A and B are shown apart, each in its own frame.
Chain A
């Protein structure tokens, strides 16, 4: 198994490590760096639970290799809130609207929402709601029936216009 030295930042912190070529980014973040907020629920790219941002773009960390993130800036769910603990607007919206129950799918949901709201900054409410809803079709939540997630989307769309 070939090993590679990689450097990257996670939530603004610099990390360097030796990783096997086959190690997924998700596994690396959890096992090597201890960012256990990122959850692996299917490990085959369907459920979205493992989503993290790499250079601002939402990526499925079960499908991306750690070596591919070399030199990149990764944001996990641990890095969404402000350093003083103020929740990111997507976290707040999920909380306000009972958008989570068991919380296993939630890290991926929150990261995708954060990435999509950022990509659509300044867009109209309709466009933001559409983009967020479309992005959420790539996330599976077994608990909530998506009701709170949808209300959170509406709150975010309303708040951003």
Chain B
């Protein structure tokens, strides 16, 4: 009889600071990063890159490099083209720019890869790469958004330099009268610098051809499953021929969402050469030739009534996409998520991405973060202008729990967000009045203190509305030894998913945390998931493990009940022991039950499967919202412009907290990146398109001395998912920037407003405000460049009669949606001025009727259910065998349509 049985209580692992499972290997130098992989016969790659931002490749002289001993091959695009590749976005839609793995006749940015050298060692490959002579006929590059509007075409075969466009200029006319009627109208403009995501481990890839057409790939990624699916799709490989492994990855932050040109080129080259190949990006490449982020120019105008209630807002957003973005992007999410936490009755916007001759853009932690930065800094500006406390201004406009369900102007429903509640909790924890008093006293001594507050919500754990954003699979088993093994689709680039998932399993199954082993980071285990993308793993994989552990516990209970002749309700599992209520002598270890389940099927209940396994794939609600309010206090040195952060308090609601150490680590990491964005980091380009921060001596990463101690308040309102978690991976990087900017603006308020926020706020730019003149030279620089900024001249429409055949029949049509271009066949039948027909895409065919034809113009409507219920309103102009126009897509604004007769 086990007399200790009763003393073993259920352990609440969820919510406790369990030490991380990952740390043992990472602290002792036994991690497995991509550069740690070495294979027999493996060769090394170095890229030859363009030193010119734009031009035609006249010649590539590889003779000297080829003669170097140890060089095995030098490939250009002409060689790689033997394997057809069609690069795609994270959403598995085509990249619109004519991107090839290596430059194809032209270069479009400094760092464009032109050739790859394959040699015995990395050093030899680099030596040889430096001997490759590339002659480029240089052309004047298009560097800024202003350049893009007036300059030559970045991609000569496209109509203009607009890479993506949504929203509608027309809404400006609808919003303007509302603004005209407002008691207060406040405007702001933000120029967000270009960011280099800078994970400490740069990009890395090892590709090893195996067997007949099979390939094993080790790669720095954010999900081996997504990487495998992506590589298989762009190379047209059967997915079963490919295995992707990524045990340890030194940070991703969005940069490693998808494999990009260099990594795919490694795989293609390994196929061509039939040898294992390794490419390890160096820091110079990482800073100048890895995809960048942000680089935006945004203007927002907001109207308030006399009491500070929001009335209407208009936003004009532009984003420099560079030459080869990982997906053309107008960042519709900025507009979707700007206002759902606030009661704003009317909103309009136009949003565009622009091609330039700079490195292409990728994702970075909270890619839509501009919505919080522009809104929250404007609200503080408005509070100063209206003469109202910034907290009070937010209270009058925030959507509290009592206001929900609430639907935003753009149709985003919220049912359980708590930004107001987080704000109240935050305000209750700080003595605002005391700070204001101290601020007044300090000013008398020439010391400038400031306090900044910001609130926000964040969509996390998205599933079901975009191709890659799906559920998570867990396969869980109790081994015959009684130990628990979980096979997961999760991936950690520091997220600690092996830790948090083991905590959930240990608690829900009733075993010791130490007895749970989690395997992840390999496309051969688990099932498709995008891994670390969109703050989703804690929410979705957490829910999947939660339920799978319950299912497995149920199975153990059924077996134990049968063995003990007891009812299932009488069985409990605690501390790895299986108890029978009222019969302590019947207590068995999980190991005993497992041995029977695997080895003595005759003792199992009739019909029960042998073994102790459970598998579950969790599809959560489409979106789970996280809320937060942050406060930061700073002191600005009026002599030097130096900003010192004194205190930072985070009040967030990420639902059930699995491990506070992990959650706080995510918030802190995001906040440090926020501090970097506001004060330090910058990847500027000169007029010739040269990136100016190619080392960590130029690109200033936040150091320990730049980051204060963070304080945390957790609200923990359970979400509607299994387990009640809400995502927390990106939040700090979204709410951090406005919190800090607001604190600095508050400190500077005796001197004036930061009229136009140009980031980073370097000491010199802070002095611009303090001294009221252009000390930093920022104005002179911007105005020098801006003088050339003229709105793009739209191509003049040539009126031509519709072709003799009219519009009847099939047309190949392209709709530029926010998730990338959608290709379809449009069929029209006209009957006088009535038009009917159908649109057919790979996903299916949909009919329409009730359209109208007037002259060359056709208008029709179509209701769609996915990704959400909206009515698409097409307005098309036909011109001979081509057509163009737009499609109004409800909250998504307008998308461009173009097409040709099939």
Contact = CB atoms under 8 A, between A and B. Distances in A.
Interface of A: 20, 22-23, 27, 30-31, 35-44, 46-47, 49, 76-78, 80-81, 87, 91, 94-96, 98, 100-107, 110, 133, 136-137, 139-150
Contacts of A43: 282-283
B866 to A, nearest CB: 36
A137 B31 contact: no
Most buried by B among A91, A104, A139: A104
A147 B248 contact: no
B695 A98 contact: no
A144 B282 CA distance: 22
B673 to A, nearest CB: 8
Given A42-B696, A44-B283, A137-B705, 16 more contacts: A39-B250, A41-B283, A43-B282, A47-B701, A87-B28, A100-B23, A101-B669, A102-B201, A103-B250, A106-B26, A143-B251, A145-B671, A146-B672, A146-B703, A147-B707, A148-B665
B357 interface: no
A152 B34 CA distance: 28
Interface string B26-41: 1111110101100000
21 contacts: A20-B123, A36-B29, A41-B202, A44-B283, A78-B29, A95-B19, A95-B27, A96-B19, A98-B664, A101-B496, A101-B665, A102-B249, A102-B250, A106-B26, A106-B27, A133-B705, A140-B703, A142-B673, A142-B701, A145-B707, A150-B704
Given A46-B695, A81-B28, A142 B703 contact: no
Given A139-B704, A150-B709, A102 B248 contact: yes
Contacts of A148: 661, 665
Q: DSSP majority for the A interface?
A: loop
A143 B701 CA distance: 11
Contact of B23 (A20, A36, A95): A95
Contacts of A91: 27-28
Given A77-B28, A147-B668, A103 B662 contact: no
Contacts of A30: 35
B695 to A, nearest CB: 5
B199 interface: yes
B710 interface: yes
B126 to A, nearest CB: 11
A137 B27 contact: no
Interface in B1-53: 17, 19-20, 22-23, 26-31, 33, 35-36
Contacts of B251: 101-102, 104, 142-143
B29 A145 contact: no
Interface string B654-666: 0000000110110
Interface in B249-279: 249-251, 253
Nearest to B676: A142
A145 B672 contact: yes
A39 B33 contact: yes
B250 A104 contact: yes
Most buried by B among A36, A39, A139, A143: A143
Nearest to B492: A102
A37 B248 CA distance: 12
A89 to B, nearest CB: 12
A30 B616 CA distance: 41
In order of increasing CB-CB distance, the 8 nearest A-B pairs are: A37-B29, A104-B250, A101-B494, A103-B26, A102-B494, A145-B672, A145-B668, A46-B696
B703 A144 contact: no
B477 interface: no
A141 B26 CA distance: 14
Contacts of B707: 145-147
Interface string B303-337: 00000000000000000000000000000000000
Nearest to A149: B704
Interface string B375-393: 0000000000000000000
Most buried by B among A80, A81, A100, A148: A100
Interface in B639-665: 661-662, 664-665
B29 A76 contact: yes
B493 interface: yes
Q: DSSP majority for the B interface?
A: loop
A31 B697 CA distance: 26
Contacts of B223: none
Nearest to B287: A42
B183 interface: no
B200 interface: yes
A46 B697 contact: yes
B27 A87 contact: yes
A87 B229 CA distance: 40
Nearest to B496: A101
B665 A147 contact: yes
Nearest to A41: B200
A23 B126 CA distance: 13
B473 interface: no
Given A37-B29, A105-B200, A147 B710 contact: yes
A144 B665 contact: yes
A42 B705 CA distance: 20
B296 to A, nearest CB: 22
Interface in B539-568: none
Contact of A140 (B27, B29, B670, B701): B701
B649 to A, nearest CB: 14
B288 to A, nearest CB: 13
A98 B709 CA distance: 14
A110 B697 CA distance: 23
B88 interface: no
B200 A147 contact: no
Contacts of A38: 29
A29 B611 CA distance: 46
B494 A98 contact: no
Contacts of B23: 94-95, 100, 103
A49 to B, nearest CB: 6
B356 interface: no
Nearest to A135: B704
Given A98-B665, A136-B704, A145-B668, A103 B27 contact: yes
A47 B696 contact: yes
Interface string B587-602: 0000000000000000
B29 A77 contact: yes
B198 interface: yes
Given A77-B29, A140-B200, A141-B200, A146 B665 contact: no
A36 B36 contact: yes
Contact of A110 (B27, B282, B664, B669): B27
Nearest to A85: B28
A134 to B, nearest CB: 9
Most buried by A among B20, B23, B31, B251: B23
A77 B707 CA distance: 26
B696 A140 contact: yes
Interface in B333-367: none
Nearest to A24: B123
A83 B492 CA distance: 29
B250 A147 contact: no
B31 to A, nearest CB: 5
Contacts of A41: 200-202, 250, 283
Nearest to B250: A104
A91 B695 CA distance: 29
B704 A104 contact: no
A26 to B, nearest CB: 11
A22 B123 contact: yes
Nearest to A104: B250
A147 B35 contact: no
A106 to B, nearest CB: 6
Given A41-B250, A43-B283, A44-B696, A104 B33 contact: yes
A19 B491 CA distance: 38
A141 to B, nearest CB: 7
A137 B494 CA distance: 21
A98 B22 CA distance: 11
